[in-house]
Structure 1
Amino acid sequence: MVTDSGILYVVLVTLLFLPWGYGVVRFVMDTKNIYIPKGRQFLRGRRRLKEEEREEQEREERERQLY
């Protein structure tokens, strides 16, 4: 037979679990929609800067060879 304290326990555990579950879901969605795209953008920017630096060095090397 189910007691009142048993029902109260199940209700309270459920109420405590809901914010925790919501937090886990929000963290996963934020990671997928915010942090991963920002990380990719950061890496693209670094690659672009390295490529520009390499091209600049090649251009300077060609100029030094001409003179």
Structure 2
Amino acid sequence: MVTDSGVLYIVLVSLLFLPWAYGVVRFVMDLRSIYIPKGRQFLRGRRKLKEEKKEEEERSEREQQLY
């Protein structure tokens, strides 16, 4: 037979589980909507800076070869 303390324990564990589960779901949603797009934007910016730097070096090298 189930005791009152056993039922109370299951209810309290369930109540503690709900905020934890909400936190996990919210974290996954934040990853998908905030952190992954920001990471992609950061990587695009770094690639663009590398390409610009490479183009500038090539341009300066061509200018030096002309003189």
If the length of structure 1 is used for normalisation, what is the TM-score?
0.92
User: Counterparts of 1:5 and 1:54 in 2: how far apart (Å)?
Assistant: 70
Q: Which residue of 2 aligns with 1:59?
A: 59
**Aligned partners of 2:40, 2:26: CA distance in 1, in Å?**
20
Is the aligned partner of 1:22 residue 2:9? no
Structure 1, unaligned runs of 5 or more: none
1:33 is matched with 33
Query: Cα RMSD (Å) of the superposition?
Result: 0.9
List alignment gaps of at least 5 residues for structure 2. none
Calculate percent identity across the aligned residue pairs. 81
Q: What is the CA deviation profile of residues 17-53 of structure 1, one whole-angstrom value per residue up to 9, with x for unaligned ones?
A: 0011111111111111111111100000000000000
Report how many residues are paired. Answer: 67
